[in-house]
């Protein structure tokens, strides 16, 4: 553990600290936001579309699982592809490719005459989501002014939550009409938006310098921060890149020199998922059913507002505080809230007649234990939404040296999707095996382990330039932990 050193004592030129949000920067922000919407909408929509799909195609249970989970698998592959595309063709072009994949996938799903094309559509959408999930936050974090970087990536998380919320609303609104094709097809709109806005955007100057297109980088810097000392910014970027040897390969991501940032990114990626967020996002209806919300309408309302709406609202806390209080305090406070809430949900389920989630419904309205569950889930969602949700993506996108950033972010994002896949796939099985209470206590236990790990390992990166963070791994600068 080391003390914070003022940035002025750090070797190498620092970037000027202008914080103005110019039009090109707002376009970057718009790209980040639309990519987040796509990601979130896809997390949330399938639960609503599935019933109609099952009836239309008379699916076996294996095919139901394939239709549900292949977006996640596609996203896992897409995030690795996204890292390659972002390093090879640039952050902006990778975003454009994601948008095209997304449009293709959404159309295939909406028009699919048979199950094979539907599954292909799911896979294409998944690839699009994966590529966007890597390229867009990377694009945002490389272009954001240092003082707003946390907020830029937190805006991505905000958009994810809005996407999930919109999907819940669309599911509720279209459920009666068996309009699954519309539910899935609607996502063509953000896909088109992503391509249009991405086409207007500038390329990341950090990437341009990396591929030796310094003149273009200078032009972009001039556009993004007009009237400023472009040379100073360029020099700071060049200085950081000059210290890096060789060209990035996948192997370079695992170079021992970058072990620390890799461990930090992978740790956050895994803890974000194994503390249970997507078990709740996907299975909220069943959890509320088991907790005594007896009618589907009550369950959908609880899910839409207590999970979907609260998730959106609480993300604003992160946007307000991530660059002021910093990443560590948000993580440490949020993990305590999540852990306590999960302990309480586990206790509430002890008294819910031993009914496993997904099976039973108590007669009448929600019981006391049901209300306790609802409140505890709200506390959980709020705590996640200002901590592990946004901070994970912010840190993953700022912690790596420029040379390996694209691919390293891709590896961390793929690990995040892999963990999400495992948790959502095995949540119900786990409940069957160890019971609902112990399943939530297991998530709570991971919060406790996560807290200790964050306290000891994750450095504070608030207010540091990407170049300073980079130099901290080679001992030329230091970041505070503990």
- Contact residues for ligand BGC (CB under 6 A)? 43, 157, 160-161, 164, 272, 277-278, 281, 311, 389, 416, 420
Nearer to ligand BGC, 392 or 461 (CB): 392
- Which single residue brings its beta carbon nearest to ligand BGC? 389
State the minimum distance, in angstroms, from the CB of residue 77 to ligand BGC: 17
State the minimum distance, in angstroms, from the CB of residue 110 to ligand BGC: 23
The CA-atom distances, in angstroms, between 148 and each of 17, 31, 154, 295 are 10, 16, 10, 44
Phi, psi for residue 266 in degrees, rounded to 5: -65, -40
Distance CA 410, CA 416 (A): 10
Nearer to ligand BGC, 236 or 281 (CB): 281
State the minimum distance, in angstroms, from the CB of residue 443 to ligand BGC: 14
Q: Which residues contact 311 (CB under 8 A, 6 or more apart)?
A: 161, 164, 165, 381, 384, 385, 389
State the minimum distance, in angstroms, from the CB of residue 381 to ligand BGC: 8
Nearer to ligand BGC, 27 or 420 (CB): 420
State the minimum distance, in angstroms, from the CB of residue 389 to ligand BGC: 4
Q: Which residues contact 236 (CB under 8 A, 6 or more apart)?
A: 12, 13, 14, 15, 465, 467
Nearer to ligand BGC, 220 or 280 (CB): 280
Nearer to ligand BGC, 16 or 309 (CB): 309
Per DSSP, 201 falls in state S
How crowded is residue 257: how many other Cβ atoms within 10 Å of its Cβ? Answer: 14
State the minimum distance, in angstroms, from the CB of residue 310 to ligand BGC: 10
Burial of 422 (0-12, 13-18, 19+ CB in 10 A): middle
Nearer to ligand BGC, 202 or 412 (CB): 412
Q: Whose CA is closest to 148, among 285, 280, 18, 32?
A: 18
State the minimum distance, in angstroms, from the CB of residue 103 to ligand BGC: 22
State the minimum distance, in angstroms, from the CB of residue 399 to ligand BGC: 16
How crowded is residue 433: how many other Cβ atoms within 10 Å of its Cβ? Answer: 10
Burial of 58 (0-12, 13-18, 19+ CB in 10 A): exposed
Distance CA 306, CA 370 (A): 13
Nearer to ligand BGC, 27 or 159 (CB): 159
Distance CA 466, CA 395 (A): 11
Burial of 82 (0-12, 13-18, 19+ CB in 10 A): buried
Q: Say if CB 218 and CB 208 are below 8 A apart.
A: no
Nearer to ligand BGC, 277 or 343 (CB): 277
State the minimum distance, in angstroms, from the CB of residue 244 to ligand BGC: 29
The conformational region for residue 96 under phi > 0 = left, psi -120 to 50 = alpha, else beta, is alpha
Token pair belonging to 153: 């990536």
State the minimum distance, in angstroms, from the CB of residue 272 to ligand BGC: 6
State the minimum distance, in angstroms, from the CB of residue 420 to ligand BGC: 5
Distance CA 396, CA 272 (A): 12
SS (H, E, C) 93-139: HHHHHHHHHHHHHHHHHHHCCCHHHHHHHHHHHHHHHHHHHHHHHHH
State the minimum distance, in angstroms, from the CB of residue 150 to ligand BGC: 14
Q: Which residues contact 275 (CB under 8 A, 6 or more apart)?
A: 335, 338, 342, 384, 388, 443, 446, 447, 450
Nearer to ligand BGC, 36 or 205 (CB): 36
Nearer to ligand BGC, 248 or 310 (CB): 310
CB burial readout 344-373, b (16+ within 10 A) else e: bbbbbbeebeebbbbebbbeeebbebbebb
């Amino acid at each position: 553990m080391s003390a914070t050193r003022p940035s002025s004592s750090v070797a190498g030129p620092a970037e000027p600290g202008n914080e103005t949000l110019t039009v090109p920067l707002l376009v970057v922000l718009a790209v980040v936001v639309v990519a987040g919407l796509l990601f979130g909408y896809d997390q949330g929509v399938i639960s609503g579309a599935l019933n109609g799909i099952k009836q239309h195609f008379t699916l076996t249970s294996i095919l139901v699982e394939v239709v549900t989970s292949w977006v996640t698998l596609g996203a896992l592959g897409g995030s690795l592809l996204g890292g390659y595309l972002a390093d090879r063709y640039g952050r902006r072009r990778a975003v454009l490719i994601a948008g095209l994949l997304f449009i293709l996938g959404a159309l295939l799903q909406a028009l699919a005459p048979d199950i094979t094309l539907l599954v292909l559509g799911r896979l294409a959408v998944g690839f699009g989501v994966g590529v966007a999930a890597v390229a867009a936050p990377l694009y945002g974090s490389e272009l954001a002014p240092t003082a707003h970087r946390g907020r830029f990536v937190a805006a991505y998380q905000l958009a994810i939550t809005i996407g999930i919320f919109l999907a819940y609303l669309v599911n509720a609104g279209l459920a009666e009409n068996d309009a699954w094709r519309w539910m899935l097809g609607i996502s063509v709109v953000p896909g088109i938006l992503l391509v249009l806005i991405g086409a207007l955007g500038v390329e990341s100057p950090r990437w341009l310098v990396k591929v030796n297109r310094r003149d273009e980088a200078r032009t972009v810097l001039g556009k993004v921060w007009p009237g400023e000392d472009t040379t100073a910014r360029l020099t700071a970027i060049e200085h950081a890149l000059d210290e890096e040897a060789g060209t990035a390969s996948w192997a370079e991501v695992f170079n021992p020199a970058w072990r620390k940032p890799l461990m930090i990114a992978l740790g956050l990626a895994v803890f974000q998922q194994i503390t249970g967020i997507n078990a709740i996002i996907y299975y909220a209806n069943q959890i509320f059913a088991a907790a005594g919300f007896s009618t589907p309408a009550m369950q959908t309302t609880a899910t839409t507002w207590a999970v979907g709406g609260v998730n959106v609202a609480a993300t604003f806390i992160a946007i307000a505080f991530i660059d002021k209080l910093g990443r560590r305090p948000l993580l440490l406070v949020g993990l305590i809230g999540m852990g306590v809430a999960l302990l309480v949900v586990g206790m509430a389920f002890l008294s819910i007649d031993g009914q496993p989630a997904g099976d039973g419904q108590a007669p009448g309205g929600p019981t006391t234990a049901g209300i306790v569950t609802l409140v505890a889930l709200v506390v959980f969602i709020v705590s996640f939404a200002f901590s592990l949700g946004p901070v994970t993506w912010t840190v993953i996108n700022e912690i790596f040296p420029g040379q390996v950033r694209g691919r390293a972010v891709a590896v961390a994002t793929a690990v995040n999707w892999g963990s999400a896949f495992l948790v959502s796939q095995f949540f119900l099985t786990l409940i069957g095996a160890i019971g609902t209470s112990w399943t939530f206590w297991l998530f709570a236990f991971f919060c406790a382990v996560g807290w200790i790990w964050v306290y000891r390992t994750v450095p504070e990166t608030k207010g540091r330039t990407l170049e300073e963070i980079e130099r901290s791994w080679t001992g030329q600068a230091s970041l505070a932990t503990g």
